[in-house]
């Protein structure tokens, strides 16, 4: 079953303690679509500029349906991030929205009927525009980042309310709730209208909180960390991709938890190389092997 993936398609310049790369294919939609692709066919909703190279287009086209990826005259989104691997701190050194500044998603009637939808990290206004066009969603997963919590908190909360599963990391959850404990923050987000919330904690377990209960999924502990960029997008993409592959709803905690194990395994590979590079050789078998090694 196809999975609609909204988000950025970007060129990233990435610096970590392990090295530096410039103009690497990234963006929340690229990362998430690669992760979905092991389980289901992703449909990317986004925009690139006319500077987007054919080789990156061909790579994305080998993983995803690009019929909703627009090309506008101008530049592709660019992000420069610096990660301190010891402290886990990420600094956004620059963000150039470029063609995203004028992007307004208009789904074809086929795309508007997508059943599985990932509202990846992008302006809440764009996430809400896509939400309003959906005709028959079965599972909507949404993600965000600190920038949007700072600049459009109401929009972030509205996206959470209209999603089945809202994903964020512990820092973002603390920004929204004032609570540093992941489970307490998840409960507080339910109080703000969330249905199911997953609070991610890097190397510590991800916590799923919903009215039906709480579940924890451990992280994979033997990661050779190179670049954490896109970890959240890979987690979201693989989790939702699994749910889509099973054709299930997000109303059963154990099924979501199964999906999260694929999310953890896929994200653990993604952060072992810069940007989206790992997806040039990763296989479903690799993901299955690492998933089955999780201490559940």
**Binding footprint of ligand AMP on the chain (CB under 6 A):** 8, 10, 12, 26-28, 31, 79, 95, 121-122, 145, 147, 229-233
Q: How near is the Cβ of 80 to ligand AMP at its closest, in Å?
A: 9
DSSP 172-218: HHHHHHS--SHHHHHHHHHHTT-SEEEEEETTEEEEEEETTEEEEEP
Taking CA atoms, 82 is separated from 10, 35, 100, 118, in Å, by: 16, 23, 22, 26
- As measured in angstroms, the least distance from the Cβ of 31 to ligand AMP is 6
Any idea what the Cα angle at residue 150 is, between residues 27 and 124, rounded to 5°? 50
Residue closer to ligand AMP by CB (options 105, 187) is 105
In the complex, what is the shortest distance from the CB of residue 151 to ligand AMP, in angstroms, rounded to a whole number? 9
CA–CA distance, 146 with 189 (Å, rounded to integer): 16
Report the residue closest to ligand AMP, judged by CB: 26
Cα–Cα distance, 189 to 197 (Å, whole number) = 7
In the bound complex, what is the minimum distance in angstroms from residue 233's beta carbon to ligand AMP?
5
Task: Give backbone dihedrals phi and psi of 280, rounded to 5 degrees, phi first.
Answer: -75, -20
- C-alpha to C-alpha distance for 249 and 140, rounded to whole angstroms: 10
Choice between 187 and 229, CB closer to ligand AMP? 229
Of 160 and 187, the one with the shorter C-beta distance to ligand AMP is 160
Residue 229 or 268: which CB sits closer to ligand AMP?
229
Query: Residue 28 or 98: which CB sits closer to ligand AMP?
Result: 28
- The minimum distance between CB 202 and ligand AMP, in angstroms, equals 11
The DSSP H or E segment spanning 54 is: helix 54-63
């Amino acid at each position: 079953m196809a999975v609609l993936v909204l988000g950025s398609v970007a060129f990233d310049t990435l610096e970590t303690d392990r090295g530096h790369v410039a103009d690497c294919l990234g963006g929340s939609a690229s990362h998430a679509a690669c992760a979905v692709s092991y389980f289901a066919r992703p449909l990317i909703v986004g925009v690139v500029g006319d500077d987007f190279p054919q080789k990156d287009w061909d790579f994305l086209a080998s993983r995803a349906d690009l019929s909703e990826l627009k090309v506008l005259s101008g530049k592709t989104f660019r992000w420069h991030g610096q990660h301190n691997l010891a402290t886990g701190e990420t600094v956004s050194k620059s963000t150039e929205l470029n063609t995203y500044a004028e992007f307004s998603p208009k789904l074809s009637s086929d795309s508007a009927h997508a059943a599985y939808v990932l509202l990846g990290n992008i302006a809440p206004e764009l996430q809400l525009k896509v939400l309003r066009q959906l005709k028959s969603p079965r599972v909507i997963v949404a993600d965000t980042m600190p920038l949007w919590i700072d600049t459009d908190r109401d929009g972030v909360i509205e996206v959470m309310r209209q999603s089945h599963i809202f994903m964020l990391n512990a820092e973002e959850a603390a920004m929204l709730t004032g609570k540093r404990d992941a489970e307490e923050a998840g409960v507080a987000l339910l109080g703000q209208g969330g249905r199911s919330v997953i609070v991610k904690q890097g190397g510590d377990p991800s916590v799923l909180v919903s009215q039906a209960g709480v579940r924890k999924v451990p992280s994979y502990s033997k990661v050779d960390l190179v670049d954490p960029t896109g970890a959240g997008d890979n987690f979201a993409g693989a989790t939702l991709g699994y749910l889509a592959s099973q054709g299930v709803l997000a109303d059963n905690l154990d099924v979501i938890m199964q999906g999260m194990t694929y999310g953890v395994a896929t994200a653990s590979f993604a952060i072992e190389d810069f940007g989206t590079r790992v997806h040039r050789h990763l296989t479903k078998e690799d993901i299955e092997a690492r998933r089955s090694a999780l201490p559940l």
